[in-house]
Structure 1
Amino acid sequence: MKLTYKFRLYPTKDQEKKLLHALDRCRFVYNKLLEELNKQEKIDRKILQHLIVELKEKYKELKEVYSKVLQYEHYRLFSNLRALARLKKNGKKVGKLRFKGKGWFKTFTYNQSGFKLIETNKRLDLLHLSKIGNIKIRIHRAVKGKIKQITIKHCSSKKWYACITAEVKEKITKSSNSKKVGIDLGLIDFIYDSDGNKIKHPKILDKSLKKLTKEQRRLSRKKKKSKNKKKQRIKVARVYERTVNQRNDFLHKLSRCYVKGYGFIALEKLNIKGMVKNRYLSKSIVDASWSKFIQLIQYKAENAGVEVIKIDPKNTTINCSNCKSKVYKKLYNRIHKCKCGLEIDRDYNSAINILNIGQGLSKFTPVEIEPLRELTKVPTSSVVEAGSSLR
């Protein structure tokens, strides 16, 4: 099992120049390999592999970059080709690989060697990168397992990050937790589960929209190709980055709470690509990041030995969780009222149905419920908080 950790780097001005130089040289090698690939009638990996050696002899500045970093661009190129082939196989319309211009190349990778983490007694540790030096790094959590590779990333906000991939050899045992839960995802309440808990939607994008609009207007007024325009572009990127970080923090902590609290989790298998086509709800759906939340629950659950089932959401809102009869209602009707006497929130009813189907009990024994049960409301502030200890 492989895990990836993301840590902030704090390079000096001299180190940043070396990092930018390495990034640009990797872009140069990638473009040269792609140029040679386009000339070939039949793809020959060996010819392209040898081309890197020829380029190093012709362009002496390439020797200033660690050799395996340049070799990784060969792997990156063919990895991109395989991704295009998969898309084409799935019936998608694909074009050719494009050359990378300045600003479109964000990462380079140290694979297997050329790096070392150095622990210090100070607030910041050190990351040694061959041909660059010892860079200050904030290790905010322990790295488990053997480090296989380190990817250096340069963001639009001009911040540097190290993405450390480590291989962990641990036997995953099934969770002893017998508690089960069904989760209904929504836009009004982010989550409503079968235990009656609901988490309010944090609406992170809406909260940062005022600041984002202000900075974007300032950007549009700056003169083209001026230094002020570049500075303002960084400010806009940092607002976006903060929004993404806040959303990820919320999703990580919430997913961790469910994985720790339950041994079985049932989720909806949503067609999010189709739902985003609704122009009235698309912004709210994207801000909710349901796909990201489901992805986080799945990988955390896999590591913790928790079973996760994804079910078809068809009729989960319509069917009564008590008597299984169909109760049709419009979107604005938030209460599920059935002839059997059950009167509960429609999302709560849906969450119970999701759990029933997930257990394979939808046609047999329903989950025990109490009509007119007083639901537990969980405020967003209890999930979104400083730090990242729950990740």
Structure 2
Amino acid sequence: MDNQGIGQYDLSRLCKDLATEYEWAGKLNSMARQASAERAWQSIKRFYDNCKNPSVKKKGFPKFKKARSVEYKTSGYKLSEDRQSINFIDGFKAGTFRMIGAADLSYYQLGQIKRVRVVRRADGYYAQFCIQHERSEEIEPTEQVIALDVGLLHFYTDNRGNKVENPRHLRKSEKALKRLQRRVNHKVKGSNKRKKAVNKLGRKHLKVSRQRKDFAVKLARSVVKSSDLVVFEALRVRNLVKNHHLAKSISDAAWRMFFDWLEYYGQIFGKIVVPAPPQWSSQECSSCGQIVKKSLSTRTHICSCGANLCRDENAAKVLLARGLKIASTQGHWGINAQGQTNLCQLSENLVDKLTG
């Protein structure tokens, strides 16, 4: 706000001045200071981009947050020979720490480790390693296609009518979260008992978030492995959560996280993952294309052409038709949702089945 026109390199040069001005900044590794400046610039750049975009109403001013992590690049730390311990050698002299679950680090060369971030969670400290590695897995084509219509009653319904129940992790833990929150409110601010109560509440929230991620990752992997073409709704979840009656349930479902992992595993397994436009997918008939308007409470699609099926299954079939059209107009069956060429192609039998 006080220095308009400041760029990314100006922030990087400022790190050197901060090291001489503040003692704690001088103790920090130089590359760690640079990494902090990069993260600050990402927040500022996002704000600048939102200001230039007239469709974004809330510009999102950068916010100052508590420092709960520190990121090292190629210096400031040293791994032991067995890669099971990490020693921080910057000015803070934190010492050597034994890492739990670091057995996989022995499979990578030290040159592949580009960054190490130390993160504080409610249940302890974690070391996150950013490793440069080309990951790909080749699996046999299944000659199956699937389209997913997500919802709140069921997590998703596919074009065959199969449904996956919504786990509702937050809803199931809401009673325990409220009880822990009351304990925090009843403790005196600044007391040790309040700190312990806050830690227990944080652990419970952390468990819910991990349950949600675990469900999304495993389900996305299973869907992509079992199909050669996956079509999902290109929903703008940011706009959907503006409905205050459904915001908590939509956030608890974590559709955006599930879509991101679908695209990720699509690249890993060389499968085609296509986002399809969701507009009127629940109202359009999958048999004749006629628009049959219905409210949210109407769960059955009935059309004059004789179609009578579940509302979500009908929407999944509509999405499948749209996804096949998008995949065919791209000019190459092996191009995924992010515009990158997949490692394997659809078999000729499946292409003939889809296009014929």
Bucket of the pairwise TM-score, normalised by the shorter protein: 0.7 to 0.9
- Match for 1:149 among 89, 107, 115? 115
SS at match of 1:85: helix
RMSD: 3.0
- Match for 1:199 among 152, 158, 164? 164
Equivalence for 1:125: 84
8 Å contact from structure 2 (residues 8, 38) kept in 1: no
8 Å contact from structure 1 (residues 175, 306) kept in 2: no
Q: Residues 206 and 46 of structure 1: is their aligned pair in 2 closer, same or farther, counting only changes over 3 Å?
A: closer
Equivalence for 1:218: 183
8 Å contact from structure 1 (residues 151, 164) kept in 2: yes
Unmatched 5+ stretches in structure 1:
1-37, 363-391
Q: Residues 203 and 170 of structure 1: is their aligned pair in 2 closer, same or farther, counting only changes over 3 Å?
A: closer
Equivalence for 2:228: 263
Q: Residues 257 and 45 of structure 1: is their aligned pair in 2 closer, same or farther, counting only changes over 3 Å?
A: closer
- Match for 1:67 among 16, 23, 30? 30
How far residue 128 of structure 1 moved from its aligned partner, in angstroms, is 3.4
Structure 2 CA distance, aligned partners of 1:109 and 1:258? Answer: 34
SS at match of 1:161: strand
How far residue 355 of structure 1 moved from its aligned partner, in angstroms, is 0.7
8 Å contact from structure 1 (residues 263, 307) kept in 2: yes
How far residue 225 of structure 1 moved from its aligned partner, in angstroms, is 2.0
Equivalence for 2:42: 79
8 Å contact from structure 1 (residues 174, 306) kept in 2: no
Give the TM-score normalised by the residue count of structure 1. Answer: 0.72
How far residue 345 of structure 1 moved from its aligned partner, in angstroms, is 1.3
Q: Percent identity?
A: 29
Q: Residues 273 and 130 of structure 1: is their aligned pair in 2 closer, same or farther, counting only changes over 3 Å?
A: same
- Match for 2:314 among 330, 340, 349? 349
Structure 1 CA distance, aligned partners of 2:24 and 2:178? Answer: 42
Structure 2 CA distance, aligned partners of 1:65 and 1:241? Answer: 28
Structure 1 CA distance, aligned partners of 2:173 and 2:13? Answer: 49
Amino acid at match of 2:192: K
SS at match of 1:257: helix
- Match for 1:113 among 72, 75, 96? 75
Q: Residues 159 and 203 of structure 1: is their aligned pair in 2 closer, same or farther, counting only changes over 3 Å?
A: same
Structure with the larger RCO, 1 or 2 (CA within 8 Å, 6+ apart):
1
How far residue 339 of structure 1 moved from its aligned partner, in angstroms, is 3.5
How far residue 318 of structure 1 moved from its aligned partner, in angstroms, is 2.0
Structure 1 CA distance, aligned partners of 2:325 and 2:140? Answer: 20
Structure 1 CA distance, aligned partners of 2:275 and 2:10? Answer: 46
SS at match of 2:196: helix
- Match for 2:245 among 280, 284, 299? 280
Amino acid at match of 1:308: V
8 Å contact from structure 2 (residues 136, 267) kept in 1: no
SS at match of 1:142: helix
- Runs of 4+ aligned residues of structure 1 deviating over 6 Å after TM superposition are 44-47, 171-175
Structure 1 CA distance, aligned partners of 2:13 and 2:181? Answer: 46
Structure 1 CA distance, aligned partners of 2:27 and 2:153? Answer: 54
Unmatched 5+ stretches in structure 2:
328-356
- Measured against aligned partners, the alpha-carbon deviations of 1:58-84 in whole angstroms (never above 9, x if no partner) come to 555545433322232333333332222
Q: Residues 78 and 263 of structure 1: is their aligned pair in 2 closer, same or farther, counting only changes over 3 Å?
A: same
Q: Residues 226 and 307 of structure 1: is their aligned pair in 2 closer, same or farther, counting only changes over 3 Å?
A: same
Matched, 1:89 2:52: yes
SS at match of 2:288: coil
Matched, 1:168 2:133: yes
Q: Residues 43 and 58 of structure 1: is their aligned pair in 2 closer, same or farther, counting only changes over 3 Å?
A: closer
Structure 2 CA distance, aligned partners of 1:187 and 1:273? Answer: 16
- Measured against aligned partners, the alpha-carbon deviations of 1:130-163 in whole angstroms (never above 9, x if no partner) come to 33333222337735762110111112x1521222
Q: How many residues align?
A: 318
How far residue 174 of structure 1 moved from its aligned partner, in angstroms, is 10
- Measured against aligned partners, the alpha-carbon deviations of 1:271-312 in whole angstroms (never above 9, x if no partner) come to 322322222211111111111111111122122221111111
8 Å contact from structure 1 (residues 175, 263) kept in 2: no
Q: Residues 118 and 282 of structure 1: is their aligned pair in 2 closer, same or farther, counting only changes over 3 Å?
A: same
How far residue 106 of structure 1 moved from its aligned partner, in angstroms, is 1.3
Structure 2 CA distance, aligned partners of 1:290 and 1:90? Answer: 25
**What pairs up with 1:38-77 in 2 under 5 angstroms?**
40=3, 43=6, 49=12, 51-57=14-20, 62-77=25-40
Matched, 1:295 2:254: no
8 Å contact from structure 2 (residues 170, 252) kept in 1: yes
- Measured against aligned partners, the alpha-carbon deviations of 1:201-236 in whole angstroms (never above 9, x if no partner) come to 101111100100101111111112222112111111
8 Å contact from structure 2 (residues 84, 102) kept in 1: no
Give the TM-score normalised by the residue count of structure 2. Answer: 0.79
SS at match of 1:206: helix
